[in-house]
Structure 1
């Protein structure tokens, strides 16, 4: 499978085209994303098993949301049942991807434990608050930096892997390989894409909030809450749509019309 190499500016268009898809059916896409979050949060309440179950299912749910975005792109209607549509295609491969992701994440956190004695690992897997001395001596920060270094290639391998496995029936190994190669070839576009998200998610809302707080003194806290909720409800579905757009652009010759 050959991935296209796109110009850096394409990273910005992924976000803008993602917003275009969001606008076409913003209510249903938002409902699907929020339902996904709520379902995952409810399952995560179960200690240990909840974390394992949700991680295993993330690739299948990713395909479900990509199915929704593709249907919007093709002008087809959406339904709540689409939230589980990803479980109907190559489920075994998607579950294996989830298992590999879980094992790799635990391995990365285990490596980071060499720096902070396992504080980051306990916080991420068990929700345990790190000890104050670990925070103060910067060992937690060092562990976080180590984890991010290893998580970057992991995310590259997983960016397109669920779609490649779910839509094209690739084995988990091939899906991870082609995803990593595609991200590596398009690192410039992904860099611009990341910067665009930072601008849209932090700088622009911060500027708007600052102006509103100046015009409406005494209501900064309420404005911050309203701005945060609106940002989440708009940006999150837009980001899922932008994931689909990036796949459609990079693997354009493999897009089917289903």
Structure 2
């Protein structure tokens, strides 16, 4: 396995390919993303351990969406079974993916727990949907400090898991090595990933402005609110579609890549 160093402009290419591929199979890719969201939501409803279970499933679910994108690039219609890609290979890969899931859940809970030490858990309750934020809460210095603690810990966690599920599946790496090579790839291609993130942020802002402008022109501000949520879900689906290309271009493909 060899790491590719890509130019900064590749970040823009990843965004473009994500959108183009999505519109090749919009029903399939959007439907799979909604299924992904539904599975995560249902998992989180399991009493006591639901949130941990949802976090454990996230790496495997992300791999499923990347596999769906790969199939779309090859002209195939990705079926729902593709979401189970992580568990349809050999036992060794399945076990490695479960280890990845456990490590991600542990890392996420550690970041959330560290933030709770700062503000007594207010940020954690808001983030997890257990509390409604008030203006006073959002302006509190402890709440803001807890938010930055969480971001500071979660960012490297995200980089470690960015490529890890794909490296386990397509390059047969063990979990710990996959985490190491994932964060190295993100750091070595820092400018490409920076442009990738900034471009998606710009697209998001333009979409929000566009939707609200349409509502204002039609004299129906409420329409913007009704449209914004499903539009943002479609944008999230395109974002997840683009993740496959960040992996594909960051590493040389194995001799015989698994589907």
1:146 counterpart residue number: 149
Output one character per residue of 1:67-115: Cα deviation in whole Å (capped at 9) or x when no partner.
1111111122322222222212311111111111111122222222232
1:195 counterpart residue number: 198
Q: Which ranges in structure 2 are unaligned for 5 or more consecutive residues?
A: none
Alignment of 1:123-138 (within 5 A): 123-124=126-127, 127-129=130-132, 134-138=137-141
Contact 1:60 1:91 in 2 (8 A): no
Which whole-Å CA distance do the structure 1 matches of 2:208 and 2:28 have between them?
A: 28
Contact 1:66 1:240 in 2 (8 A): yes
Bigger shift: residues 118-127 or 11-20: 118-127
Bigger shift: residues 113-122 or 88-97: 113-122
Contact 1:119 1:131 in 2 (8 A): no
Contact 2:164 2:175 in 1 (8 A): yes
2:211 counterpart residue number: 209
Q: Secondary structure at the match of 1:244?
A: helix
TM-score normalized by structure 2? Answer: 0.90
Which whole-Å CA distance do the structure 2 matches of 1:205 and 1:133 have between them?
A: 30
Contact 1:67 1:86 in 2 (8 A): no
Which whole-Å CA distance do the structure 1 matches of 2:162 and 2:150 have between them?
A: 18
Output one character per residue of 1:124-162: Cα deviation in whole Å (capped at 9) or x when no partner.
457245688654432111100111111111111010001
1:74 counterpart residue number: 74
RMSD (Å) for aligned C-alpha atoms: 2.1
2:110 counterpart residue number: 107
1:224 counterpart residue number: 225
Which whole-Å CA distance do the structure 1 matches of 2:217 and 2:238 have between them?
A: 29
TM-score normalized by structure 1? Answer: 0.90
Q: Which ranges in structure 1 are unaligned for 5 or more consecutive residues?
A: none
Residue 257 of structure 1, CA deviation? 6.3
Which whole-Å CA distance do the structure 2 matches of 1:48 and 1:131 have between them?
A: 26
2:37 counterpart residue number: 37
Instruction: Select the residue among 158, 162, 181 that pairs with 1:159.
Output: 162
Residue 171 (structure 2) pairs with residue 168 (structure 1): yes
Which whole-Å CA distance do the structure 2 matches of 1:113 and 1:130 have between them?
A: 15
Contact 2:211 2:227 in 1 (8 A): no
Residue 2 (structure 2) pairs with residue 2 (structure 1): yes
**CA 1:77 to 1:216, structure 2 compared with 1: closer, same or farther past 3 Å?**
closer
Residue 51 of structure 1, CA deviation? 1.1
**CA 1:119 to 1:188, structure 2 compared with 1: closer, same or farther past 3 Å?**
same
**CA 1:253 to 1:85, structure 2 compared with 1: closer, same or farther past 3 Å?**
closer
1:50 counterpart residue number: 50
Alignment of 1:11-30 (within 5 A): 11-30=11-30
Which whole-Å CA distance do the structure 2 matches of 1:77 and 1:109 have between them?
A: 38
Q: Secondary structure at the match of 1:78?
A: coil
**CA 1:224 to 1:76, structure 2 compared with 1: closer, same or farther past 3 Å?**
same
